[in-house]
Amino acid sequence: MKFNKTNIALLLIVVSFIIGCQSEYTKLVKSELNSGVKHHAIFHGLEFGQSQKEFFEICWNLNKKRLVTHGGNNQNVKKVLYPKDSSKTTETIEMLFYPDFSKENTIIAMRLKFSYLAWSPWNENLESDDLLPVVKDSLMKWYPGNDFIKVKNVLVKVDGNRQIQLNAETVKDVAVLIEDLDYKYNNLKK
């Protein structure tokens, strides 16, 4: 194939198109990781990089203070979030959480599940679609910075190395994944 002006122009257009097709999400992740901003704190003294032993010690101390208890299946930690208006008892939320650990047994992500304590199949106003905006609002207060963007069926928020994914997982549950992108992407390269 001879490279004349037309072929070179077409090649440049194709390359520009491919480069320009990076998704908003990909651009955001690259920009945030390149910003040098690091967020290690998750909540309640839990942080990315802590050992499994530290996780259990922190949860044990939170339990002694009656801030958390064991979750329903004993594989989660449970925290109850009460509404500001104590008369709105149906708006009490259960938050279950448990981390993902690396091969080195350090926290690399935190998985959370939110649901209304009063949820039942006949309480349609307490379903995950109604809970999702409440959880999103809380996450924005707990983790200020960039807003959530929609990526497929998931809302995603990236600030520095911390990524938060949010979606209505079932009719009852809102799932959240908070992960350390430094760990995620540095280990994909290996």
Q: Indicate the pLDDT class of residue 83, thresholds 50, 70 and 90.
A: confident
Q: Could you tell me how many residues make up the chain?
A: 190
Is 18 domain-assigned?
Answer: no
Query: What pLDDT digit, counting tens, does each position of 14-30 carry?
Result: 444 444 556 888 898 89
Model pLDDT, residue 163? 97
Is 123 domain-assigned?
Answer: yes
Is 34 domain-assigned?
Answer: yes
Parent domain of 130? 23-188
Is 17 domain-assigned?
Answer: no
Q: Indicate the pLDDT class of residue 4, thresholds 50, 70 and 90.
A: low
- CA distance linking residue 18 with residue 20, whole number of Å: 5
Q: Indicate the pLDDT class of residue 80, thresholds 50, 70 and 90.
A: very high
Is 124 domain-assigned?
Answer: yes
Model pLDDT, residue 115? 95
pLDDT at 7 over 60: no
Model pLDDT, residue 171? 94
Mean pLDDT of the chain, nearest integer:
87
Query: What pLDDT digit, counting tens, does each position of 104-161 carry?
Result: 999 999 999 999 999 999 988 999 999 999 999 999 999 999 999 999 889 999 999 9
Domains identified in the chain, total number: 1
Both structure tokens of 136? 């999103």
Model pLDDT, residue 188? 54
Query: What pLDDT digit, counting tens, does each position of 31-57 carry?
Result: 888 998 999 999 999 999 999 999 999
Main-chain phi, psi angles of 4, to 5 degrees: -100, 180
Is 60 domain-assigned?
Answer: yes
Is 13 domain-assigned?
Answer: no
